[in-house]
Structure 1
Amino acid sequence: MKIIFSRKGVDSAAGRCCSPLINGRPISLPIPTRMPTATRYGDLTTSTIAFDLTKGRLDPTQPCHLDPDIDREALNTQRPHGWRGALGQVSSSLSHLRNNDVGPGDVFLFWGLFRECVQATKGWRYAGPKRHAIFGWLQIDTVIDLGCDGSHALAQHPWLARHPHVRPGWNNKNAIYLARETLTIGEGDIPGYGVFRRPIFLTEEGATPSTWSVPPWLDPQSGGVGMTYNPPSRWLGNGRVTVAARGQEFVSDAGIRPDARDWLLSLFGGQP
C-alpha cells in the first residue's frame, strides 16, 4: 500500500490565503483557476467565507478548481445519482504518481494550509497561526486516462459531469482517480473518501508550517519509509522533517507495514 500526502487547496501562492478552520473543522478552499471548470466560488457552500477572508478577491464569479471533489456538501446543488469522490491530476504530478506505481488500493491523504477563523462584525477573519493539516482522504478504486478531452469518461460515469478534469482543454497527460465506496483497510464501513471533521495537524507545535512532526513508520531516521521529494537532508530526527516547498504528491511506499496501517486507521478514530 502506498500513502500519498497530496497538497491541495489555497495557500500563499495559489489563492494567496489559507483555508479556514471553523469551530475546529477544516474547510479546504479550492484554488482559483483559468483551466477548464464548471464551478465558481458562488457555487460553493463556503462562498461567503472565501469572499470575506480574501476581502472580496475570491468573489462569487471567480472560477475555481474543485479538486479533489470529496465532500458531498461542497456545492449548493444536489449531487447526481451515483456520485462519489474523485481526484484529477495532470502533467508532471501525474507522471510522478505513475512513476511510483500509484494505483488501486493506494490512499491519498489531502493536506493544505489552514488557520483558525472566527466570525466578526464585518464577516469572517483569521484568528490563529498557519499550519499544515490533513483534511481529507481517498482510496483509489479506478484510474481513468482522460487525455485532452475527458468527456468520454461520462458514458460510464455520468456523475462526473461537473468534475474539471473530464472537460476539454487539458494537455494529453490527464487522468482521474475514482474513489472506492468503502475503505478496504481495517473493519467496518469507513467511506472510501471524505473530509475529516477535525484536522490532523502535520505542523509541529509552535514551528513554521513546513516543519512537520510525523509518525516513526514515515521517518527514515527511525527505520521509516520516507516520502518522495523529501531526501535525507530534510529529515531532522525524532520524526521531524522540513517538507519540500512546492511538491504536490509526496508518495510513501508503506508496503504491508502494520504500523503504517494502524496509523492510517487511527486517523478515523475519535472523529465526531
Structure 2
Amino acid sequence: MRLILSRKGFDSSAGGCPSPVLPDDALCVLPIPDSQSRIRYDNVLFEQRRLGKIARDLSGGRIRGGHGAHLDPDLMAGAYPRQEGWRPVLGQTGSAQGHLRNQGVEPGDLFLFFGVFRRAEMHNRRWRFVPGSRPFHAIWGWLHVGQIHTIDELAPCALPWARYHPHFHGQPDAGNTLYESSIACQLPTGAEVFSGSGVFPKLRDELVLTDPHSRLPTRWRLPAAFYPGDDRPPLSYHTKTDRWQLKSPWCYLNCAARGQEFVLNLDAYPDLTGWLAGLLRTGRGTGS
C-alpha cells in the first residue's frame, strides 16, 4: 500500500488565504476557485453553512458565492446535490497526475488530504481570521482508492453520477484521471475495517502537521516512524537528507513548498500502520 499526502484546498496562491478553523474547531475546507466548474460556492454546504459567505469574507471579496468552485476531492454526501449512486472521488491531471502514475499509485492505496488552515471567528457579522493566529498545515480527510478511471476514455454513458465533477468539464486531456473511493479500507497488517473515505470533522493535535514551535507552516513535525533510512525510500519530493531531522519520538521535515502529491511506500514503513489507524478511528466516514 502507498500513502499519498495530498495538498488540497485554499492557500496563498489558490484562493488567496487559508481555509478556516471555525470557533467550534471544525475544519472547514474551502475548495479552490475554478472558472470552468459548474459548482458554485453558494451551492456547497459545510455543516449547514454555505461556503459562499465564508469564502467571500475571508478572501476579502476576491471569491464570491457565484464563482465556480473546484469541489475536489469531494468526500461528504451532504455537501452538494448529486445523483443516486454517487461515490466520493478525487480528480487529478497534469504534472501531479504524472507523479502519481510514476509512483505506481493504484487501487488499494490511501490518500490523506492536508491543507493550510487558520483559526477564524465571526466579527461584526463577518468572518475574519483571528488576529495574531498563524496558518498551519493539518490533515482533514482521506480516500482509499477503489477504482481509477481515465476520464477521456470513458464511454459517454459511464459514471453518470460523476458528471457534475469539475474534471468532466475541462478541455480534452489524456492525463485527466478520476480516483473513486472504495467502500471500505483495511490497513496493512491491521484487522480493523474503516470507511473507504471521510473527513476529520474537528481539529485535534494529531491532525496538525506543522511543528507547533515553528512560524512556518511547512516545518513539519511527524512521528519518528516517517524518518527515512538506507533500506526505505523517503517521501517523494523529499529525498534530500538535509530536509529531515530525527529527534525521537518525532522527526522534523522541511516540507516542499510546491507539489501536490507526496507518496510513501507503506510496505517499507510498517510502524506507521498504528498511527494511521489511530487517525482513521477518529474520522467521520462518508455518509455517516
1:115-168: CA deviations, max 9, x gaps? 111112231111121000010000000001113xx7x36623211021111234
| Match of residue 253 from structure 2 | 241
Task: Name the SS for the 1:25 alignment partner.
Answer: coil
* Structural mapping, 1:78-227, within 5 Å: 79-127=82-130, 128-147=133-152, 152=154, 155-185=157-187, 186-187=190-191, 190-199=194-203, 200-207=207-214, 208-220=216-228, 225-227=233-235
| Match of residue 271 from structure 2 | 259
Of stretches 41-50 and 244-253 in structure 1, the one that deviates more from structure 2 is 41-50
Partner of residue 51 from structure 1, selected from 49, 56, 76: 56
1:158-197: CA deviations, max 9, x gaps? 1102111123414221111000112133445521111111
TM-score by length of 2: 0.86
- Say if 1:213 and 1:82 are closer, same or farther in 2 by CA, change over 3 A: same
Check conservation: 2:72, 2:89, Cα contact below 8 A.
yes
| Match of residue 24 from structure 1 | 25
Instruction: Point out where structure 1 has 5 or more consecutive residues left out of the alignment.
Output: none
- One-letter amino acid of the counterpart of residue 2, structure 1: R
- Say if 1:221 and 1:32 are closer, same or farther in 2 by CA, change over 3 A: same
TM-score by length of 1: 0.91
Aligned-partner Cα distance in 2 for 1:177–1:73: 20
Check conservation: 2:150, 2:174, Cα contact below 8 A.
no
| Match of residue 48 from structure 2 | none
The ranges of structure 1 where at least 4 consecutive aligned residues each deviate by more than 6 angstroms after the TM superposition are none
Q: What's the % identity of the aligned pairs?
A: 36
- Say if 1:222 and 1:20 are closer, same or farther in 2 by CA, change over 3 A: farther
Instruction: Point out where structure 2 has 5 or more consecutive residues left out of the alignment.
Output: 46-50
RMSD of aligned residue pairs (Cα, Å): 2.0
Check conservation: 2:181, 2:196, Cα contact below 8 A.
yes
Aligned-partner Cα distance in 2 for 1:228–1:111: 16
Aligned-partner Cα distance in 1 for 2:268–2:243: 25
- One-letter amino acid of the counterpart of residue 263, structure 1: W
Shift in Å, 1:224: 6.2
- One-letter amino acid of the counterpart of residue 2, structure 2: K
